Structure 1
Amino acid sequence: MKHLLRNIRVKPKNLVLPVTVILLFSLAGCKNDRSGPLPSADNNGSAGDKSAPVPATAVLRPNSSSRHVATFDAMSSQSGNSAKNGSSGAKAVSKIKYNAGEDPDFAKQCGWPVKCPAPLPGSILPQKRIVAFYGNPLSKRMGALGEYPKDEMLRRLKVEVGRWQAADPSTPVQPALHLIAVVAQGEAGTAGKYRMIIPDAIVTQVYGWAKEANALLFIDIQTGHDDIRTVLPRFEWLLKNQDVHLGIDPEFNLIKSGAKPGKKIGTYDAADINYVSGYLKDLVKKYNLPPKVLVVHRFTKNGVTNARNIIVRPEVQIVLNMDGWGAPWLKRDSYKSYVVAEPVQFTGFKLFFHNDTKKGDRLLTPKEVLRLNPKPIYIQYQ
């Protein structure tokens, strides 16, 4: 589904003057709906009218291979309850009515919990749940990370971390800042790549904020018309740190279509994701690091193609993050269709402070999100 997007537009020559950069960002920041509204059934989506029955979702099972050596069920909810029949005393399974994305039997049919490598020492998932603020400090319109002054932003993050800890006391919560370090652009720019790489000084500044809050840092890459194989290696200087992780955004990978960012939704194939996880694996080995977390955003069926071919490696923990905005029922439907139905390893869920509520809907609470099956282990606020 097409949606409008106004990204940061800064001419490269302005990058030499930090003050000018900041002014331009404040004037031309993108809308909060960077991930776009979730598509309806009429637009190849997972959900239609709330009163209409939800169509059956194809069950796609992950490949079984020798790389899958252990099974973990840390995120799955318990399935079903039994009750005694009052007249005969015979046991009967009670029929529980679930919202989309909550049914443990559907999750099991799709292949959850997935078989994946046993966590290596220092792994974050599934021992902890990550709660992140997303955005860019040079724009107030790209998410919570840049919407507020640093101290207020960190205070708000601490509040959300506390809410998630209260909702699930058994799983420690790890705060994080998720910085858009490469921003898709509506214009080609001098490089002709429809993307802007944020100055290293800004990235370093946000990394300092993360350290101040005992938080992880994620850098997020929107490639535009560039190749992830070209962009990713320039961030080795940052990713070699054990508390820095990665996010990639298929929505803004538009090399194949040639469309401008914001005019069409992009895609990543399993081969692209396998390149990224292979690169991270090599960094882990080169610098003797604990496993990296790789977040892959998704809110459409074609956002990730050939998902069953994604390779799960011990050195990289992959999260498929449902990052579309909309009403609660629509977000659940999309989680079911685009994350649960195509198992990879771990799951994530994005909540939009503004776009999820701008049509009068309320923001899902931590307890409501935790009813999803499997339970998301990565939570992102924009």
Structure 2
Amino acid sequence: MVILFHMIFPKSFQLLVLSALIIGGCQNSSSDQAAKSDPNTSAEAAPETSNTKLAVSRDTVVTTAASTTPAAAGKELTPLDSLRLIGPKITGSILPDKRILAYYGNPHSKRMGVLGEYPKDEMLRRLDRETKNWEKADPSKPVQQALHLVAITAQGAPGKDGKYRLRMTDYTIRKVIKWAAEHNAICFLDVQVGLSTLQQELPYLEKYLTLPYVHLGIDPEFSMKTGARPGTKIGTYDAADINYAVNFLSRIKQEHNLPTKILVVHRFTQRMVTNYKNIKLNPNVQIVMHMDGWGEPVLKRDSYRDYIKKEMVQYTGFKIFYHNDVKKPPHHLMTAAEVLTEDPKPIYIQYQ
């Protein structure tokens, strides 16, 4: 639907603002904000693709099943090992027995989503209040809280390797994972590849995905296969890209004897996902196709039905934008009860 195209560009411009904040663009005088709050930024931001293996290995961790019990041999705990000792105790599949309720964003940007809009404690209090709304709307479905971090962000500037994306540092990623773990929430790491690829970017996140409560999100909007700059056009993933991400997660799950992994795929147009019938289900990975459009309720419902329900893969998701959904009165923020009138009922809910 052509009308849906107006639903996304403000989100794209949010990422251009994040580019200004982190890389140093012309729209904000606080271009050093991220570096000040993240002591590793200057050392790790947007490493060259050829240095991916080096970036991945900055935290020492043995990539075998034995790494799930690092203290067993009396070894000194690494920061990543410490994260294994906390967090929700998940032993099997989360879906469909629970509904996931996620807060999305990046702690370096107040405009990119609720995760970074408020200080941590206030953000988590708001998540708790929203959880009660969903539990009241559907008492039959327990809520599993989540934080959804954009860990690799599309950028308006090319960066030193020309990929138009910025990798968050170990410090930032571990910080948000810890926020989730200490709140008994799971964590999603989201990838916006820009002019890079999943094959180049997912290895950077592999060590974090060995944690039993950390999962993955991929955003076709910022997969710029034509070489266009992120934010100027809407990108795309093919079924082959999604299958690569599924197989990547499945391998990690098997090698580390982990609970079932979850892959969230954002979508709000037809071309964002091509050849959906070729997406292959995998018993080790649960796939959520997530309606990611903003606007008035009728547009959001149409998007959900046209691109999520009609091209059903496995599980469905629905996003609510606290600000963008109410930009033009008399639009209103959809309630949990309203969203749950959709069939199928979304099992993954995200707030931005």
2:242 counterpart residue number: 273
Query: After superposition, what is the alpha-carbon deviation per residue over 1:342-365, rounded to whole angstroms, capped at 9, x for unaligned?
Result: 010000000000000011110111
1:20 deviates by 7.0
1:18 deviates by 3.1
The reply to whether residue 350 of structure 1 matches residue 319 of structure 2 is yes
User: Which residues in structure 2 correspond to 1:100-139 (within 5 Å)?
Assistant: 122-139=92-109
| Contact in 2 for aligned 1:220/1:246 (Cα 8 Å) | yes
1:264 deviates by 0.2
1:11 deviates by 3.5
The reply to whether residue 215 of structure 1 matches residue 225 of structure 2 is no
User: Which residues in structure 2 correspond to 1:179-198 (within 5 Å)?
Assistant: 179-198=149-168
2:35 counterpart residue number: 18
Query: After superposition, what is the alpha-carbon deviation per residue over 1:105-162, rounded to whole angstroms, capped at 9, x for unaligned?
Result: xxxxxxxxxxxxxxx9600000000000000011100000000000000000000111
Please report the TM-score for the alignment, with normalisation by the length of structure 2. 0.78
Aligned to 1:218, what secondary structure does the other structure show? strand
Aligned to 1:8, what secondary structure does the other structure show? helix
Inter-partner Cα distance in structure 2 for 1:135 and 1:7:
13
The equivalent position to 2:217 in structure 1, one of 247, 254, 257, is 247
Inter-partner Cα distance in structure 2 for 1:20 and 1:365:
35
Higher helix share: 2
Inter-partner Cα distance in structure 2 for 1:321 and 1:343:
11
1:57 counterpart residue number: none
The equivalent position to 1:203 in structure 2, one of 155, 173, 180, is 173
User: Which residues in structure 2 correspond to 1:25-104 (within 5 Å)?
Assistant: none
Query: After superposition, what is the alpha-carbon deviation per residue over 1:192-238, rounded to whole angstroms, capped at 9, x for unaligned?
Result: 00000011101111111101210000000000000110100111110
| Contact in 2 for aligned 1:7/1:184 (Cα 8 Å) | no
| Contact in 2 for aligned 1:347/1:377 (Cα 8 Å) | yes
| Contact in 2 for aligned 1:178/1:217 (Cα 8 Å) | yes
1:17 deviates by 8.1
Inter-partner Cα distance in structure 2 for 1:246 and 1:17:
23
| Contact in 2 for aligned 1:7/1:183 (Cα 8 Å) | no
Aligned to 1:141, what secondary structure does the other structure show? coil
Structure 1 residue runs of 5 or longer lacking an equivalent are 25-119
Tell me: CA distance 1:15–1:287, structure 2 relative to 1, closer, same or farther (3 Å).
Answer: farther
Aligned to 1:337, what secondary structure does the other structure show? helix
Please report the TM-score for the alignment, with normalisation by the length of structure 1. 0.72
Aligned to 1:302, what secondary structure does the other structure show? coil
The equivalent position to 2:269 in structure 1, one of 288, 300, 304, is 300
| Contact in 2 for aligned 1:188/1:194 (Cα 8 Å) | yes
The equivalent position to 2:281 in structure 1, one of 303, 307, 312, is 312
Aligned to 2:148, what secondary structure does the other structure show? strand
1:231 counterpart residue number: 201
Aligned to 2:133, what secondary structure does the other structure show? helix
Inter-partner Cα distance in structure 2 for 1:349 and 1:16:
31
The reply to whether residue 291 of structure 1 matches residue 291 of structure 2 is no
| Contact in 2 for aligned 1:292/1:316 (Cα 8 Å) | yes
Aligned to 1:313, what secondary structure does the other structure show? coil
Inter-partner Cα distance in structure 1 for 2:107 and 2:91:
33
Aligned to 1:264, what secondary structure does the other structure show? coil
Tell me: CA distance 1:150–1:134, structure 2 relative to 1, closer, same or farther (3 Å).
Answer: same
| Contact in 2 for aligned 1:161/1:173 (Cα 8 Å) | yes
Inter-partner Cα distance in structure 2 for 1:272 and 1:323:
18
Inter-partner Cα distance in structure 1 for 2:116 and 2:189:
14
1:54 counterpart residue number: none
| Contact in 2 for aligned 1:320/1:339 (Cα 8 Å) | yes
Percent identity, aligned pairs only, is 55
One-letter amino acid of the counterpart of residue 18, structure 1: A
One-letter amino acid of the counterpart of residue 289, structure 1: L
| Contact in 2 for aligned 1:294/1:316 (Cα 8 Å) | yes
One-letter amino acid of the counterpart of residue 314, structure 2: Q
Q: How many residues align?
A: 284
Higher relative contact order (CA 8 A, sep 6+): 1
1:369 deviates by 0.4
1:167 deviates by 0.6
| Contact in 2 for aligned 1:15/1:199 (Cα 8 Å) | no
The equivalent position to 1:146 in structure 2, one of 116, 119, 126, is 116
One-letter amino acid of the counterpart of residue 8, structure 1: L
1:8 deviates by 1.9
* Higher alpha-carbon Rg: 1
Inter-partner Cα distance in structure 1 for 2:247 and 2:342:
30
1:366 counterpart residue number: 336
